[in-house]
Chains A and B, each alone.
Chain A
Amino acid sequence: MNIARTKIPRDLLILLGIYGGFAILPAFLSGNPAMMGILIMVMIWAVVAGHWDLIMGYAGVFTFGNVAIFVIGAYASGILTINYGISPWLGLLAGGVIAAGVGILISLPCLRLKGAYIALLTFALHMILEPFLKGGVGKAIGTGGALGLLNIPPLSIGGYTFSSLNLVPWFYVTLGISLASLFIIYKIIHSHWGLAFLAVRDSEPLAKSAGIDDYRYKVIVFGVTSFFTGLAGALYAHYIGVLSTRVLGLDLFLLLMVMQVVGGMGRFPGALLGAIIVTFADEGLRAAGVYRLVIFGAMVVAIVVLVPQGIMGAILREKGEGRGPRAPKLKLPPMVRSTRSGKKAGRRENRLEVTYEHS
């Protein structure tokens, strides 16, 4: 079955389609600020989930530090704008840069570690952050201790200061930043960086012996994903206006993980789809009151077990082949969609391989 490559690849199409849809929604939502607010949060979470998926799903680095990085970006921007009066726009940038710095720092001890150990170390970052922010050192740099930051200045353009009374400017700024952040993911996974990430994920020994410097790419992926996660955090801080360590609670952590699974790990733009579905599901389940998260948790288990390839995987018609996330086509010379020759021969793989000694 030969399918000629379409002009715009499917994943980019979905991304642009969804954001295109978002772009025209405010026209229909003028009387519904609640919905606008939800969509703004969807777009912010899409960045966090998307970059978390880039490092976990694509690069295969089992990291649990992304919520911490998000919060670091948020606090960084908050502190700099409140205490040092820099412009919130610069704050966004600073949030990203500082978060990237932390991300790179934490990547260093992880270079020689495997799987679960990296998860542990990065989770440690998450667990240490709360006492740090609340404690003496935190207060000294302006985190506001347990109370947090209360008056984070909103964004402003020209003379106009954004406010919570009119969400439209927030909506479009968030849309711009979010789309850019996700588009970067698209570019990366279709580039040679993406090839390196996948190679190291699929087989680190082969990747290394084929010339890939695994340390370098691990640091790169930590740095890039941390920048955008921190940027999203900073945006969140200015949007919400207040910030406390409550964000470090496990609820957010779990929700972001769920977004990746539901959307399809390692299948761009699965995380975006996951962000949309999970955010709305979360809202929808509020009626269940105290059982909301119980149902959510049960749903997560069901989805992971029954549809592990996620929504995006289902769209790509993977049917749970058992092979995990499939790589996207590279932007290099035009390639034809993969044919399925060799499938019959493929059945032989399942037998136990035994070495014969012939005489």
Chain B
Amino acid sequence: MNEITEVIISGLSSGSAYAMMAVGMSLVYGVSKVFNFAYGSFYTMGGYLAWIFLGGLLGSSIGYPATFAIVITALFFIGMGTEKFAIRPLRARRDWEMLAVMSTLGLALCLDNLYLALFGPFRKSIPPLFEGSVHIAGTTVAMQNVAIAAIALSVIAGLWFFLNRTKQGLAVQAVAQDMTGAQIVGIDKDKVFAYTFALACVLVGFGGMLLAPKYLVSHLAGWNVLVKAWVITAFGGMGSVTGAVYAAFILGMVEAFVGWQLGLTWTLLVLFAILIGIFIVRPQGLRGTWG
């Protein structure tokens, strides 16, 4: 009984972190139809930045709160820069979607190898946010896992609030639903694209920082994250934020159970098998709509 609870809690914990990251991808796709192939590299960026400021490079840590602030700010501006220089110039062209993938692919290649060059091939560890463990439902859970879940869920809640209760958030939704209509009422779609993209980078980089104590930081980790976020987003329906959240938890649980019963190497296979199944039955995902 204990084992199952552990598995469930682990699934929830990872699921919430994945949810936060997948939501970013789904949001960007829904708003601007951009698929950021360097998403994983931004995840890793969060991890390495955290490592730098939490003692890895300078020897002494400046503490979590300050590091959070640095990671969020850095990722925000780098995200804005990426959108402005590597994606926006492409929009004028008919085949921009494919070109955007190529461009972000190049960026991923560049960033991943930059990390390798700067930080070396060995994985880095960073100290966890909270030490120790806690008793939940008759089993021991690492505080870190609880913290991850709690923080990720708060971020998602905050995002929901932003999208549905603030003027800027509604502008984002407007652009996602009808670009022309949004422009007619005066919304600057370029700004929305830029901020949404930057927001997604912040979310995924933040996730990188949150999960770093658990999974260590490596220049190769990003691809796994990209694929998982992608699977979750497609499963939930590209462009649907709620879909991404549902999908993340479902898939987080599936991953936890499959990992427990069959071993980690099978998880990816099972996830893809489910994805293929979904594509046959409902090609647009759980909550997605075409277009």
Contact = CB atoms under 8 A, between A and B. Distances in A.
Chains A and B touch (C-beta atoms under 8 A apart): yes
Contacts of B93: 308, 320, 322-324
Contacts of B290: 114
A294 B113 contact: yes
Contact of B90 (A135, A254, A295, A308): A308
A109 interface: yes
Interface residues of B, number: 45
A112 B280 CA distance: 8
A208 to B, nearest CB: 15
Contact of B95 (A124, A290, A297, A324): A324
B238 interface: yes
The binding surface of chain B is classed by DSSP as helix
A287 to B, nearest CB: 14
B223 to A, nearest CB: 7
B90 A301 contact: no
Nearest to B231: A120
B265 interface: yes
Contacts of B146: none
Contact of A296 (B110, B180, B234, B279): B110
A254 B116 contact: no
B97 A301 contact: no
Given A115-B97, A352-B180, A297 B283 contact: no
Given A265-B95, A305-B90, A254 B268 contact: no
Contact of A293 (B29, B113, B230): B113
B195 interface: no
Nearest to B100: A304
- Counting chain A residues whose Cβ lies within 8 A of the other chain, the interface size class is 35 or more
A297 B107 contact: yes
The binding surface of chain A is classed by DSSP as helix
A61 to B, nearest CB: 11
A322 B223 CA distance: 31
A325 B265 contact: no
Interface string B97-114: 111011101111111111
A93 to B, nearest CB: 29
B234 A265 contact: no
Nearest to B29: A116
Contacts of B106: 254, 258, 296-301, 303-304
Given A131-B268, A291-B113, A299-B106, A116 B238 contact: yes
Interface of B: 29, 35, 85-86, 89-90, 92-95, 97-99, 101-103, 105-114, 116-117, 180, 223, 227, 230-231, 234, 238, 265, 268-269, 272, 275-276, 279-280, 283, 290
Interface of A: 56, 62, 109, 112-117, 119-121, 123-124, 127-128, 131, 135, 250, 254, 257-258, 261, 265-266, 290-301, 303-305, 308, 320, 322-325, 352
Given A297-B111, A352-B180, 14 more contacts: A62-B101, A121-B276, A290-B116, A293-B112, A294-B113, A294-B117, A297-B108, A297-B109, A301-B103, A304-B102, A304-B103, A305-B85, A320-B93, A322-B94
18 contacts: A109-B276, A116-B29, A117-B234, A120-B234, A121-B276, A128-B269, A254-B105, A257-B102, A258-B106, A293-B112, A295-B110, A296-B109, A297-B108, A298-B110, A304-B102, A308-B99, A322-B94, A325-B95
